[in-house]
Amino acid sequence: MRISNYIYLNCFSLCIVVLMVACKGNTAQEKQYTDIQVTDFRGQKLQLEQPAQKVVCLIESALSGIYMLGQQESVVGVPGDVYRGENWDRYADLDIRIKNKSLPTPGNWDFVSLEQVVGLEPDLVIIWSSQIQAIENIERFDIPVYAVMLHDIDDVFKEISDLGKLFGREERASELIGFTKAELGKLKQIQITKNRKTAYFMWAQGINETSGSNSMVESLFQLAGVKNACELPDEHVTINIEKLYDWDPDMIVMWYNEKLNPADVISNPLLKGLKAVQNENVYELPSAFECDFWTLKFLYSSQLVHFWAYGNTDMSSEPAADAMLQFLYNNNKTDE
């Protein structure tokens, strides 16, 4: 009886020790796990025990930010549109895997393959916050999700700052934000002595597609020192030609369009009565990659629109994207 009690007590003590060690280990793990914390655009708190190492990024603009941070080697999955058009050409210069189209494409803004995402065993997935069902399915597998929704310039700054934390590149993120804010500050310092111009933004879908006051376009125009002709609150809105004539903007700014150019707009007989058309003040942004509004590259778009609107200000010539891209991507080129 004494022997059995002795064995029982020793087994009980051993269990206590194991539990204490386990609890201590869990506490240490929990402390480590809370070292990296951000709040995504859902208001959801996200915690990682270490910088992200295997990331599925289903947003092209966020992917651009990852490359600016120099963390492309952590990417194991990319959005499908990276392999199309000019985007592929530009990313191919930055990553040999994209050049060879060897990185998996498990989804995009409108579709996500849960099977492919989970199969890549990521420690982080970056996705639009509007993709609610996909997020819920991914999180059921205990995979951390950073959800994004960008409405203005401050959101772009938040995203790059959060990515800096998630990838352990906070110093580089601060450097990128500081550079962009400093360049934008130069625009703000330029005194516009002439009447402030009004500008109408035209998306690639056609002359009827524009953006109102609650949009990245609004932020772009404000930074460029022009007034958005569209006074509607919508981020994306379809209008009729009569409404465009009511606004009669000083200039029209086109999103990059492979099928339409400023000459086509100027020669359109439906638009010949518009002030911008009569004065041939119709301009097209040079490329979606260089002028992506949802990245720090909105800087270049702002500079261009300002130059087109006011010409001879403190900018002696039309701004070029080269210096900006070299800094943002840190001269990062793929190995040949």
Mean pLDDT of 211-231: 93
117 token code pair:
């995402």
Q: For the chain, how many structural domains are there in total?
A: 2
Residue 10 has pLDDT above 60, yes or no: no
For the chain, counts of helices (H) and of strands (E):
14, 12
Bridge partners, residue 282, by sequence:
252
208 belongs to a structural domain: yes
Q: What pLDDT, on a 0 to 100 scale, did the predictor assign at position 43?
A: 97
Higher-pLDDT residue of 259, 65: 65
- CA distances to 42, 146, 248 from 131, in Å: 11, 12, 37
Residue 12 CB burial class (10 angstroms; 0-12, 13-18, ≥19): exposed
Regarding whether 310 and 195 lie in a shared domain, the answer is yes
Torsion, Cα 56 57 58 64, to 10 degrees, reads: -160
φ/ψ of 208, rounded to 5, equals -85, -10
Q: What pLDDT, on a 0 to 100 scale, did the predictor assign at position 31?
A: 36
Q: What pLDDT, on a 0 to 100 scale, did the predictor assign at position 84?
A: 85
User: 331 pLDDT band (50/70/90 cuts)?
Assistant: low
Regarding whether 324 and 199 lie in a shared domain, the answer is yes
Q: What pLDDT, on a 0 to 100 scale, did the predictor assign at position 223?
A: 92
- Judge contact between 200 and 83, C-beta under 8 A: no
25 belongs to a structural domain: no
Residue 215 has pLDDT above 60, yes or no: yes
Regarding whether 113 and 83 lie in a shared domain, the answer is yes
3-state SS, residue 200:
strand
Choosing from 172, 201, 229, the residue where a domain stops is 172
15 belongs to a structural domain: no
pLDDT digits (tens, 9 = 90+) for 63-72: 999 999 999 9
Q: What pLDDT, on a 0 to 100 scale, did the predictor assign at position 4?
A: 41
Distance in angstroms (rounded) separating the CA atoms of residues 2 and 303: 87
Mean pLDDT of 278-289: 94
Q: What pLDDT, on a 0 to 100 scale, did the predictor assign at position 320?
A: 84
Residue 26 has pLDDT above 60, yes or no: no
- Judge contact between 58 and 75, C-beta under 8 A: no
Regarding whether 136 and 104 lie in a shared domain, the answer is yes
231 belongs to a structural domain: yes
Mean pLDDT of the chain, nearest integer = 87
The answer for residues whose C-beta is within 8 angstroms of residue 1's C-beta and 6 or more apart is none
Regarding whether 123 and 216 lie in a shared domain, the answer is no
Distance in angstroms (rounded) separating the CA atoms of residues 55 and 293: 23
Regarding whether 103 and 37 lie in a shared domain, the answer is yes
pLDDT digits (tens, 9 = 90+) for 154-198: 999 999 999 999 999 999 999 999 999 999 998 888 767 668 899
pLDDT digits (tens, 9 = 90+) for 73-118: 999 999 998 998 888 889 999 999 999 999 999 999 889 999 999 9
Regarding whether 312 and 210 lie in a shared domain, the answer is yes
Regarding whether 197 and 89 lie in a shared domain, the answer is no
Count Cβ atoms below 10 Å from residue 116 Cβ, excluding itself: 14
20 belongs to a structural domain: no
Regarding whether 145 and 197 lie in a shared domain, the answer is no
User: 317 pLDDT band (50/70/90 cuts)?
Assistant: low
In the chain, pLDDT over 70 holds for what percent of residues?
85
User: 32 pLDDT band (50/70/90 cuts)?
Assistant: very low
Q: What pLDDT, on a 0 to 100 scale, did the predictor assign at position 258?
A: 87
185 belongs to a structural domain: no
Helix axes 153-166, 216-224, angle to 10 degrees: 110
Q: What is the DSSP string of 89-103?
A: HHHHHH-HHHHTT-S
Helix H or strand E segment including 202: strand 198-202
Residue 67: give its domain's CATH number. Answer: 3.40.50.1980
22 belongs to a structural domain: no
- Judge contact between 98 and 121, C-beta under 8 A: no
89-98, 140-149, 184-193, 203-212: least confident range: 184-193
Q: What pLDDT, on a 0 to 100 scale, did the predictor assign at position 191?
A: 66
180 belongs to a structural domain: no
Count Cβ atoms below 10 Å from residue 21 Cβ, excluding itself: 10
Mean pLDDT of 21-42: 59
Choosing from 172, 198, 214, the residue where a domain stops is 172
Higher-pLDDT residue of 267, 191: 267
Mean pLDDT of 246-271: 96
- Considering only the C-alpha atoms of the chain, give the largest distance between any 2 of them, rounded to a whole number of Å: 107
Regarding whether 217 and 158 lie in a shared domain, the answer is no
Choosing from 172, 203, 221, the residue where a domain stops is 172
Q: What pLDDT, on a 0 to 100 scale, did the predictor assign at position 134?
A: 96
Distance in angstroms (rounded) separating the CA atoms of residues 129 and 146: 8
**Residue 57 structural domain:** 32-172
Residue 9 has pLDDT above 80, yes or no: no
Q: What pLDDT, on a 0 to 100 scale, did the predictor assign at position 232?
A: 93
Q: Which of 22-26, 186-190, 242-246 has the highest mean pLDDT?
A: 242-246
User: 314 pLDDT band (50/70/90 cuts)?
Assistant: low
Higher-pLDDT residue of 272, 191: 272
Residue 333 has pLDDT above 80, yes or no: no
- Judge contact between 303 and 62, C-beta under 8 A: no
